[in-house]
Structure 1
Amino acid sequence: MRELMTAYARRAPVRSVAVVGNAPLRPNAVRAHRIDTADLVIRMNSFVLDVPGAEPCQGTHVDVVVWNRITRATEFVFHDYRERLYALVEPMRLHGNPEMWPTSWPADLGLVPVSNRAFTRPLNELLGIPWREERLAPTTGTLATYLAVSLFPDAEITVTGLSYVDAPEQTAWQHQWGDWCPVGREHRIAQESRLLRSWDTDGRIRFVR
């Protein structure tokens, strides 16, 4: 997976990675520049990009899309899809959820499944949650961050747009493109917040607000 992501990166070797979530962000030109100048930019699920004429906020560059089968596609998700790597995360397949193929996907979309054995299971154990007994799964945001930390441990990793880092008690969250939805019952975002904060403290990632 490291070699594949590197093949889609702007520069190699990958010395800087930006992981961009979907939480609402205020305009910030410094943040947008930091994202767009990273060697590898990972976005997720229903992401949005800056558009011409708007204040810089979350940047415009995408190399890798980490997303799941129930993603509600924005206008940006499949734009230029032939130029990006699509990494499909399916943590609930560990609990027997069936495979499904959304009709919104391009017919010729190429994708790579993210291994539950290599990434989801170790992350569940790291979170210290009873994932087998309670049918739990990490959020796409934490899983995408774990991919970056695991695959590029020597890179400078910027993480932004994950609201639960600062608000682990929330029961519903808003996306940057406007909608609200409840936090899935399969998530334990307090534990995810604690893990990401520890990585920020020890320098594995830099969380940017």
Structure 2
Amino acid sequence: MARLIHAYADDPQPRAVAVVGNQPLPPDERRAKAIDACDVVFRVNGFVCDEPEGPPTVGSRTHVVVFNRIVRATPWLFHDYRDRLYLLVEPRRMHKEPTRLPHWWPHDLGAVPVSNREVTLPLSAALGLDTDAAWATTGTMAAWIARTTFPDADLYLSGFSFLDDPEQTSWRHASGDSCPVGKEHHIGREGRLLSSWTESTETGNTYLLR
């Protein structure tokens, strides 16, 4: 999977990578420029991108989309989809979830399954989760994929609401309705893990773009 992600990067040896979650954020030109300046930009599930006529907020570029089977489609999800890599995280497959894409998924668009053995289980171990009952959110999986695929690159994280509110019980999205935080997620632990990367000397620098 790492080699495939590299193929979608602007540079064969990316120096900067962004992972953008779906937290509603106020306009910020500095943040938007920092995201769009990255060699690889990951976005998650039903994400949004800046429009040419709108205020700069989260940038407009997307190289990799990380999503799950219950993704809520937004107008940006399939824009330029032939030029993007779509990675399907499947932690529920460990709990007998059927293998199917949404019925509205484009017939000419594939999706690359993310290995539970290579991604979900190591991440769960890093979070100290009981894999029989819990797994990470799609956003944290995207951040983990980015950090482990590009360990020497600078990593920019934005749109992760649990970094500021680890006790929240519902998700607010930049596009679409809110929804409950699933009982399988321990977002306090996820926030501590991502925050710890900003202090790590074992990988490239990690920055939080709020």
Normalising by structure 2, report the TM-score.
0.95
Alignment match, 1:182: 180
Between 101-110 and 38-47, report the one with greater CA deviation. Answer: 101-110
Q: 1:202 is paired with a residue of what secondary structure?
A: coil
Alignment match, 1:196: 194
Residues 123 and 141, structure 2, Cα contact 8 Å, conserved in 1: yes
Pair 1:58-2:58 in alignment = yes
Cα distance in structure 2, aligned partners of 1:64 and 1:55: 23
Q: Deviations over 1:128-171 (max 9, x none)?
A: 02222xx2110011100000111100000001001011100000
Pair 1:108-2:108 in alignment = yes
Q: Deviations over 1:68-98 (max 9, x none)?
A: 1100100110111111000110111112222
Paired AA for residue 25 in structure 2: L
Residues 73 and 104, structure 1, Cα contact 8 Å, conserved in 2: no
Q: 1:131 is paired with a residue of what secondary structure?
A: coil
Could you tell me which runs of 5 or more consecutive residues in structure 1 were left unpaired when the two chains were aligned: none
Pair 1:137-2:135 in alignment = yes
Shift, 1:49, TM fit = 0.6
Partner residue of 1:166 out of 149, 164, 167: 164
- Say how many residue pairs are matched: 207
Pair 1:97-2:97 in alignment = yes
Q: 2:199 is paired with a residue of what secondary structure?
A: helix
Q: Percent identity at matched positions?
A: 51
Alignment match, 2:4: 4
Cα distance in structure 2, aligned partners of 1:101 and 1:127: 28
Cα distance in structure 2, aligned partners of 1:36 and 1:27: 14
Alignment match, 2:206: 205
Residues 45 and 68, structure 2, Cα contact 8 Å, conserved in 1: yes
Cα distance in structure 2, aligned partners of 1:42 and 1:130: 27
Cα distance in structure 2, aligned partners of 1:71 and 1:164: 19
Paired AA for residue 199 in structure 2: T
Normalising by structure 1, report the TM-score.
0.96
Q: 2:11 is paired with a residue of what secondary structure?
A: coil
Could you tell me which runs of 5 or more consecutive residues in structure 2 were left unpaired when the two chains were aligned: none
Q: Deviations over 1:82-121 (max 9, x none)?
A: 1100011011111222222211210111211111000100
Between 152-161 and 199-208, report the one with greater CA deviation. Answer: 199-208
Cα distance in structure 1, aligned partners of 2:198 and 2:182: 25
Paired AA for residue 71 in structure 2: T
Give the superposed CA RMSD: 1.1
Cα distance in structure 2, aligned partners of 1:137 and 1:27: 32
Paired AA for residue 198 in structure 2: D
Cα distance in structure 2, aligned partners of 1:17 and 1:109: 24
